[in-house]
């Protein structure tokens, strides 16, 4: 029979075994968690790599489209391939069965196939920056032209949501212009700071991107309950949203109205190249009348509000199909021409717009303000892969010798967000 000493030794051995098992269990859990974390990190890195590669590929496609367009067209217009949605979207071509089969293979082999572009959906849009109002004009070296630019921006703020529930009053528009000018005239970092290490100054570029407008104190629309984002970004009427949320049954979602960032830029006229000299600043004010939207075109006629009607007539004229042009409605093959509308190749062509005479064009100094081709473009690309999203915006300057990249930034832009349709439950 075991003695008490034997029983004590067995108890100690059992305790040691239990402690060892506990330590082994903790180590196994730690190893499992580490492996899971490493696997997730690898998956995230893989997804980021795939999206980055897909974005870079689409960026090169965008440059190729812009390069081809430079030699193919005298003007830049919404008819060009770079401006057409059907040529700028790449959707995930994998079917549900293919995705399921790939997941099963990965489960069985533990290996992921890299470089498969079909696993990434990419949406790209190319936007003409020459069709917008350049905010740098507010600090034009010539005080008279700077004052004129402020009046034009006030017109834009007053008109960009005209005939919508979110329309700004002219008084509020002028107040916002004053706030923007005050912000651009602020003291720079390190300026007038005695006893401190001087910091780099950003003059003459007092705004780095148009998005910086949201940082300006006081930019809001109290009459409609909108803050800076509600003015700068696309927005809905808060009252209509509240009514819809209370009883959405049988109602359409409230309409979305354009934000100011659609109509302003910092890059047109190669504004980031060289210094803010009067000669260089003259290029900032030119606007491509083939691509500019109505509120921007209206700023060109600000000296006589009665002539703003020509902005709408220009838009209508551009929507008229050119005689003998290819038919609309179908996506042509690569070598086939696109649908053609009426556009302007020179200043005299603008006289084809109903009532827009040479005298009116001269009165508004249209020879100084109008252009018919574009040099600077922004390229917005969003890639999606297995629930992850990556968004990049490039700004490029196109010239005869190639391209110059002015900006590359990663963004989380609400304008990229798309509402995913809900899947029906089985």
Same domain, 275 and 398: yes
**% of the chain with per-residue pLDDT over 90:** 46
Answer yes or no: do 170 and 60 share one domain: no
Question: How many domains are contained in the chain?
Answer: 2
Together in a domain, 123 and 243 = no
Cα dihedral sign, 114-119-121-126: positive
**Residue 212: CB atoms within 10 Å:** 14
Same domain, 250 and 122: no
Which tens digit of pLDDT belongs to each residue from 309-341? 999 999 999 988 876 555 555 555 555 556 678
Same structural domain for residues 128 and 245? no
Task: Please check whether residue 32 lies inside any domain of the structure.
Answer: yes
pLDDT tens track for 416-426: 444 444 444 44
The dihedrals phi and psi of 425, each to the nearest 5 degrees, come to: -75, 135
Contact 296, 265 (CB under 8 A): no
Report if residue 5 sits inside a domain. Answer: no
Tell whether 254 and 274 lie within a shared domain: no
Q: Are residues 403 and 267 in the same domain?
A: yes
- Quote the pLDDT of residue 415: 45
Alpha-carbon distance 362 to 153, whole Å? 21
Per the structure, the complete domain to which residue 129 belongs is given by 24-134+263-325+333-418
Residues 369 and 285 in one domain: yes
pTM to 2 decimals?
A: 0.79
In a domain, residue 139? The reply is no
Q: Which of 229, 262, 295 is the last residue of a domain?
A: 262
Residue 149 covered by a domain: no
Question: Would 150 be classed as within a structural domain?
Answer: no
Answer yes or no: is 156 within a domain. no
Note the pLDDT of residue 154: 97
Instruction: Classify residue 353: in a domain, yes or no.
Output: yes
Note whether 286 and 403 are same-domain residues: yes
pLDDT at 327: 55
Say whether both 247 and 305 belong to one domain.
Answer: no
The region that residue 76 occupies, defined by phi over 0 for left and psi between -120 and 50 for alpha, beta otherwise, is beta
Residue 110 within a domain: yes
Q: Do 301 and 411 sit in the same domain of this protein? A: yes
Same domain for 338 and 218:
no
Those residues of the chain that have pLDDT short of 70 are 1-9, 43-44, 89-96, 98-99, 102, 106, 109-118, 188-206, 273-276, 323-339, 413-426
What local confidence, expressed as pLDDT, does residue 13 receive?
A: 78
> What's the confidence (pLDDT) of residue 384?
87
Q: Among 126, 78, 75, which residue's Cα sits nearest to residue 291?
A: 78
Q: Of 262, 295, 311, which residue is a domain's last?
A: 262
pLDDT at position 112, please?
53
Domain endpoint, select from 245, 262, 279: 262
């Amino acid at each position: 029979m075991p003695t008490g000493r034997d029983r004590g030794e067995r108890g100690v051995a059992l305790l040691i075994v239990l402690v060892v098992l506990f330590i082994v269990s903790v180590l196994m859990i730690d190893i499992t968690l580490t492996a899971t974390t490493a696997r997730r990190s690898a998956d995230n890195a893989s997804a980021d790599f795939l999206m980055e590669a897909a974005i870079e590929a689409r960026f090169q496609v965008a440059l190729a489209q812009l390069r081809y367009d430079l030699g193919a067209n005298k003007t830049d217009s919404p008819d060009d391939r770079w401006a057409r949605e059907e040529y700028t979207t790449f959707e995930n071509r994998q079917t549900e069965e293919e995705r399921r089969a790939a997941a099963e293979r990965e489960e069985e082999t533990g290996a992921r196939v890299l470089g498969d572009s079909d696993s990434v959906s990419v949406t790209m849009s190319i936007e003409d920056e020459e069709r917008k109002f350049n905010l740098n004009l507010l600090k034009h070296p010539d005080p008279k032209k700077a004052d004129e630019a402020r009046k034009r921006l006030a017109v834009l703020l007053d008109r960009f949501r005209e005939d919508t529930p979110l329309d700004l009053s002219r008084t509020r528009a002028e107040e916002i212009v004053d706030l923007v000018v005050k912000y651009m005239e602020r003291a720079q970092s390190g300026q007038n700071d005695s006893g401190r290490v001087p910091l780099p100054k950003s003059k003459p570029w007092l705004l780095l991107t148009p998005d910086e407008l949201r940082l300006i104190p006081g930019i809001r629309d109290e009459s409609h309950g909108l803050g800076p984002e509600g003015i700068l970004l696309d927005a809905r009427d808060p009252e209509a949203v509240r009514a819809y949320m209370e009883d959405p049954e049988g109602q359409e979602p409230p309409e979305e109205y354009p934000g100011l960032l659609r109509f302003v830029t910092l890059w047109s006229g190669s504004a980031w190249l060289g210094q803010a000299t009067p000669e260089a600043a003259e290029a900032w004010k030119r606007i491509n009348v083939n691509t500019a939207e109505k509120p921007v075109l209206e700023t060109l006629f600000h000296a006589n509000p009665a002539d703003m009607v020509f902005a709408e007539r220009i838009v209508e004229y551009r929507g008229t199909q050119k005689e003998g042009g290819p038919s609309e409605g179908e996506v042509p093959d690569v070598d086939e021409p696109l649908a053609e509308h009426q556009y302007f190749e020179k200043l005299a062509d603008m006289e084809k717009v109903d009532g827009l005479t040479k005298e009116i064009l001269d009165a508004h100094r249209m020879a100084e303000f109008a252009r018919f081709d574009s040099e600077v473009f922004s390229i917005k690309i969003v890639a999606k892969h297995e629930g992850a999203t990556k968004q990049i915006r490039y700004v490029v300057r196109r010239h005869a010798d190639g391209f110059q990249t002015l900006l590359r930034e990663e963004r989380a832009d609400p304008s990229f967000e798309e509402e995913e349709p809900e899947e029906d439950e089985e």
